[in-house]
Amino acid sequence: MSKKCDVRANTADRSRVERLADLINEAGMLRRTPRTGYQFLGTGAENVAEHSFRTSVIGWVLAHMAGADAGRTTLLCLFHDLHEARTGDFNYVNRMYDDSRRTEALRDATAGTGLAEPLLGMWEELENAESLEAKLAQDADQIDLIANLKEQQDLGNPYARKWIEGALKRLRTDEGRELAETVAVTDHTDWWFRGPDRSWWENKNGRKKE
C-alpha cells in the first residue's frame, strides 16, 4: 500500500467531528506558512493566513462595488489558499519548474469532514473563473499583492513598481482595475497620517494648546 493510501486509510478511521477538528488545526498552519515571493523582491514578508484575511476583505469590497454576491465572493477569497497548508506557497518562479497538486491536497484535507462538496465546489468555481464572484475573488488576490507591493515601494524598494505593473495586467474586472489602480498610487500611510486633523500631529499627545 502506498504512503498516500495509508494517509487516506488513517483518515477514514476518524469520526466526522475529529476530522473537523483536524481541518481547524490544518487551517491554523497557514499562520506559519510564508508567502514566498518576497524572497525574490528582497523586502517584505507575510504568511498565507494574513494574505487570506485581507484578500477576503477586498473581495467583499469588490462584490459591493460590482453588485455581486458578497457572501459568495468573500468565501471564495477566504478559502482560496487553504491547500497551501499542505503544499506550501508556490510563487511565479516556482511554477515555471514545479507544480503543486492543489486539488488533491484539498480533497485530502476535506475527506471525512462532510465539507468536501462545498469546498471543492468553491475551488472549482475559482479555478474556472467564469462567475463574476470568482473573477472578483481572483482580482482581490491580486489587489492584496498590489497593496503589499505599494507599501514596499513607499518604503524604498525600487523593484516593487515592476511587480505592481505585472499584477495590474492580471486583473479581470472593471471594478478590480479601478480599485487596484487607485491602491497602486495611494500612499500606504494616508489612511492614518492624513486621517486626523493636522493639529493632532502638531500638538503634543493630540491635546489642544492652552
- The answer to whether residue 48 sits within a structural domain is yes
Residues of the domain holding 93: 3-189
- The answer to whether residue 204 sits within a structural domain is no
Q: What is the pLDDT of residues 154-190, one digit of tens each?
A: 999 999 999 999 999 999 999 999 999 999 999 999 9
Tell me the three cell numbers of residue 12. 477514514
Lowest mean pLDDT among 15-24, 112-121, 174-183, 195-204: 195-204
- The answer to whether residue 33 sits within a structural domain is yes
- The answer to whether residue 77 sits within a structural domain is yes
Q: What is the helix (H) or strand (E) element at residue 117, kind and residue range? A: helix 116-128
Give the number of domains in the chain: 1
Return the pLDDT at 159.
98
- The answer to whether residue 208 sits within a structural domain is no
- The answer to whether residue 64 sits within a structural domain is yes
Q: Residue 47: helix, strand or coil by DSSP?
A: strand
Tell me the three cell numbers of residue 168. 495590474
CA geometry: angle at 57 spanning 55 and 63, to 5°? 100
Return the pLDDT at 199.
79
CATH, residue 52? 1.10.3210.10
Q: What is the pLDDT of residues 90-134, one digit of tens each?
A: 998 999 999 899 999 999 999 999 999 999 999 999 999 999 999
- The answer to whether residue 135 sits within a structural domain is yes
pLDDT(205) > 80: no
- The answer to whether residue 61 sits within a structural domain is yes
Return the pLDDT at 2.
46
Return the pLDDT at 132.
98
Q: What is the pLDDT of residues 41-100, one digit of tens each?
A: 999 999 999 999 999 999 999 999 999 999 999 999 999 999 999 999 999 899 999 989
